Structures are given as structure tokens and as C-alpha cells.
Amino acid sequence: MFGFLNIYKPKGKTSHDVVAILRRVTKMKQIGHTGTLDPFAEGVLPVCIGKATRLIEYLADDKAYIGTVQLGKSTTTYDIEGDMVKVSDKEVSIEEIEKALQSFRGEVEQFPPIYSAIKVNGKKLYEYARKGEEVEIKPRKVTIKNLKILNYDSKNRVLELYIECSKGTYIRSIANDLGEALGVYGHLTKLVRVKAGEFEIKDCIRLEDLETKEDAEKVLINPLEKLHYPKYELGEEEKNKVLNGMEIFSPQDYEGIVILVYSNNILAIGEASGRRIKCVKVFGISSV
């Protein structure tokens, strides 16, 4: 097997749980996912099967989420699984929320939650948090491309947001920081990833529908559908050169990454400069 699966990660399972289940179903060890989701989160989880794991770095990594924020209370983890920290009975209007959201759009600096897997001095932040140890958390630059209100229940102070963002953005931090900006506090109660690069929730496959390796093979996605780089169709002689890791010369100029295609499948990833294309990763004829 060589390709991608667009899996719907259910609430309560980790991304690693999903990989473990797929390994049992497909009888394959070489499986990897392209973006971790917290256990309480759900939604799109792109999974790479076989040698397609070597293509992870070439996939688009922007994300889109629908997040539900409960205003009026903050927690240690910035989500529903944490302990309560601060409480407020202050009421806020949708106009006040919209005004506060303006500072969250574009390129911003974001402090990740202390309960996260980011490493500081070789140790994960949540390990410091669990031991009650203090550690300096540095902000990271992220890009919020789109941030809008989908719904606001002012009576219960429940806010639903749509967020398009760059890799590494913590939606939990947005919930917490927005609550702080409003002076009312807040935490994330639900998170659904609706898009990861070229993978969308409407096309997701549920784990319970994959009982056998044949089930997975039927919904396997050809990597060519999800990789948006120039593609060069190889002739028979060029194919043989590429299989041996040799460079080739194309009839037209390219710059940067080029996907080398044979018989509608990826044979290799090339790095081009003008008409010269060097092989960076070769997948072999068995993968096509």
C-alpha cells in the first residue's frame, strides 16, 4: 500500500491510537499521521500509508477548525479537561467579542498552553506542569488567516468560532486569551478540525468502516491528488534512470520541487534547477 487516508479521528482517541488501529487493520507498520489532535478533539487526520510517509513534509500544513468556547471560566489546560482557575459572571455582547477578535487575526505571537507537548530544555511542558515546576514559555509566531463568529449564545455565554490558521496554532490558547482580553475568561469545550491542507472533513473515512486491509485499499488516495507541485511525466528511459537515482534533464525549465510521475503514480521527488532534475527521494517501481 502506498497513499493517503483521510481519517476522522473520534473524540477520546489520540492520533497515536488511530495509527495503532490502522496498523492492525492493514498489517503494515509504516504508517504516520500529519498533525496531532488532542484526545478531546475530533475531525480530519491525514494518514500516510507505506512509503507515502516520506511525503509528509511535502503536504500543505494549514488547518481549519470549528471551536466552541465557554466564556466565564478559565482552566489549567485551557480546555474542558482542566481544573477551574478563574470565574467571572460578567456578560459580554457579540459586538465586544468581535472587537476583541481583531487583535487575533493575521500574524500574531501566541503563548502555547503549559499543558502541551512542546519541549523546553528537552522536557515537555506538561511534564513541568504536572510536577508544579515553573518554566519560561516563549511566544511563537502563528498566522490566523480567518477568524469569525459562527454563533453566540449570549445567555449561556457559549461562542462558536471558525478558525483558519497555520501549523502550530493552539486553538486552546485562542479560547483562553480571548477570555482574558474580554475580562470574562474562557476555555475550549469542543474542537473539530474541518480541514488539514488538502484534506477536508466532508471526505473523511471513519475508523469503524475500515475492518480489513481491502477496506483501506478501496479508499486509499493517490498522493498525486494532494501534492501541489509541478509534475513531470517520465518516459521509459527516464524512468530507469530515476529508479537508479540518476539525474535527468527535462525539455523545459523548473525550479524547486518537481514530482516525477510514471503511469499516474509518483516514482520520485526531484529537485530542479533549470532543466536539470536531481532525485531527492525515490519510491521505486513497487509503489506505482
Q: Could you tell me the domains of the chain? A: 3-61+197-225 (3.30.2350.10), 63-196 (3.30.2350.10), 231-287 (2.30.130.10)
Q: Which helix (H) or strand (E) holds 240?
A: helix 236-243
Q: Is 215 a catalytic residue?
A: no
Whole-number Å distance between alpha carbons of 213 and 175: 40
Would you tell me the crossing angle of helices 171-182 and 94-101 to the nearest 10 degrees?
120
E strands along 18-139, which residues?
Answer: 31-33, 42-49, 63-71, 73-75, 84-87, 106-110, 119-120, 123-124
The amino acid sitting at 105 is: R
Q: Measure CA of the first residue to CA of the last residue in the chain; give whole Å.
A: 10
Instruction: List the pLDDT tens digit at each of the 288 positions of the chain.
Output: 999 999 999 999 999 999 999 999 999 999 999 988 988 999 999 999 999 999 999 999 999 999 999 999 999 999 999 999 999 999 999 999 999 999 999 999 998 777 666 676 676 766 766 767 766 778 889 999 999 999 999 999 999 999 999 999 999 999 999 999 999 999 999 999 999 999 999 999 999 999 999 999 999 999 999 999 999 999 999 999 999 999 999 999 999 999 999 999 999 999 999 999 999 999 976 544
Phi first, then psi: give them for residue 54, nearest 5 degrees: -80, 0
Write down the catalytic residue from 17, 38, 89, 215: 38
Residue with cell 524512468: 239
| Residues 6+ away with beta carbon under 8 Å from 119 | 125
